[in-house]
Structure 1
Amino acid sequence: MNYHIFREIADSWVLLAMFMVFVGAGFWAFRPGSRPIHDDASTVPFRHEDAPAPDTTDLEALK
């Protein structure tokens, strides 16, 4: 009997809650004003492009 009640809740309310979290995450990611945050995060790999790390395979350069 309890399984049937939990199954009903999982099929309806939990599914609705998961859908609302998904929609909320989409709205949060594309909200107005978040563009600078996303632009900053997208340039993280290129921040030290002008001064790359030394090549560790060249042993003479490390001495």
Structure 2
Amino acid sequence: METYSLLREFADSWMLLALTLVFVAVIAWAFRPGSRPTHDEIASSIFRNDDKPAADSADRAKEART
């Protein structure tokens, strides 16, 4: 059996199964019970050091109108 045929057979059978299992594992990990606080913390982490909203710059508003 030549190399291409061997790799093709492997990809069609075992690699498809392996990648399907990896996909299911990633989805299960993301939606596991008790992960909501972690996801909420990560989603708001970019705002952690902000005390107030950014000031609206007059220069930026002027550029948008032209």
Q: State TM-score, norm by structure 2.
A: 0.68
* Residue correspondences, number: 57
Deviations 1:5-60 (A, max 9, x none): 22101111101111110110000000001111001001112212x1578xxxxxxx
Structure 2: tracts of 5 or more residues without a match? 55-66
Identity, % of aligned positions: 56
State how 1:17-32 maps to structure 2 within 5 Å: 17-32=18-33
**Structure 1 stretches (4+) deviating beyond 3 angstroms?**
none
The residue type paired with residue 18 of structure 1 is: L
Higher-helix-fraction structure: 2
Q: Which structure is richer in relative contact order (CA contacts within 8 A, separation 6 or more)?
A: 1
- SS at the partner of 1:43? helix
Structure 1: tracts of 5 or more residues without a match? 54-63
Q: State TM-score, norm by structure 1.
A: 0.70
* RMSD of equivalent CA atoms: 2.1
